[in-house]
Amino acid sequence: MRRGSRILLLFLLVIIVLGAGAFFFLRGNFLAGSTPTPTPPPITIVIAGQPIPRDSQITVEALSSMPFPADQLNDQLIQSPDELVGMYAKYPIAQGMPITREMLSERPGILQPGSEAAKVIPAGLTAISIPISRLSAVAYAIRDGDHVDVIATTTFVDVDPSFQSTLPNITAVITGTGFLPEQLPVLTTSVVPGGVQGRTELDPTLNQAFYVLPNEVQRPRLVSQMILQNIQVLKIGDFKLAEEEEETQATAELAPQATPTTVPTPQPGQPVVNAAPGRPDLITLIVPPQDAVTLAYLIYSNAKLTLTLRPPDDGTRVETEAATLQYLLSQYAIPVPAKLPYALNPRIDAPLDPRLPNDSVAVPPQ
């Protein structure tokens, strides 16, 4: 029994020694093969060196820095003070607080109460609305944010400098001026209305003077010119009032997935209701203050304003020449028709629109 016990104990001792040796051998190889990851050095981020009030411009003196773990850096944190100088604080920033990009704006007053439209107008510019139609607004192809050119068309007439009335003047005849004989020295004058003021011409054939009167009122002279270029559109159509915006928001919250409404088919004899939204009749432009004054003058002087749509990547300015009747005749080589001893029949006083075979003809009701 003693000999067997000794053999068993010796066998267990060998197993324990071999197991311990294997453990330390594997542990040494594992430790030798694994290299600990080095910790990156800290970086610096920009913080407020002093309290920064809301809507105040950020200066270099108001900034400081602090170390920050490099592995925790995100897109909102700022490392260079150059990105902050000249920007404005949206919110009050306490001393020692890290400054993020969400706290900054390019202009003050972003979070002040007021309309959202005013907050997108660049500094130094102003917004003004002008009337439009389908013809003057590029068939309603213009959208918010587009850039347009503005053409003004107006008419001119000759006026009397003193009366500021359209020429020709109305004449009158003054008779009986002076003192009547054998009466008291009283000056008497009689004004008899006359006619339209004309002019005297000499007939070269008869060598006789005659008086020429105008056959019609003065014809205004038309001129068109591009007055503004590369103007940004703030909005086409009306802005919603505050009550309408609140009502729209409340409706959207109550019914976020509203089903589209169907338009009932009109019955015979019933009027057809146009369910399409109304066409806009004005557009709001972002212009310099002086150009806003010019547009206001043109609107109230009954000038016609026409918009042309520009490409989004075209910021060039072109020097245009005003279009007048003289410009059209000379620039496009349009001849003035000669006075011939014959003419078209029937008489044509204005260009006529041709009638095509596929044109629909309105039939009067019976």
Count CB-CB contacts under 10 A for residue 151.
18
pLDDT value for 275: 40
CATH 3.90.1210.10 for domain 43-105: yes
Average pLDDT for residues 299-318, to the nearest whole number?
Answer: 94
Tens digits of residue pLDDT in 29-59: 555 555 556 777 888 888 888 998 887 888 8
CA-wise closest residue to 303 among 193, 196, 180, 220: 220
Overall pTM > 0.95: no
Domain-by-domain residue ranges, the chain? 43-105, 114-157+220-239+279-335, 170-212
pLDDT value for 276: 45
Q: HSE (CB half, 13 Å, CA atoms) of 337? A: 5
Question: Apex CA 151: angle with CA 217 and CA 148, to 5°?
Answer: 160
Give all strands (DSSP E) within 157-243, no chain letters. 170-175, 190-196, 199-203, 208-212, 221-236
Bridge partners of residue 192, in order along the sequence: 173
pLDDT value for 274: 43
Category of 169 on φ-ψ map: left (φ > 0), alpha (ψ -120 to 50) or beta: beta
pLDDT value for 308: 97
Q: Rounded to the nearest 10 degrees, how much is the dihedral formed by the CA atoms of 138, 140, 142, 144? A: 160
Average pLDDT for residues 105-111, to the nearest whole number?
Answer: 73
User: What is the residue type of 339?
Assistant: K
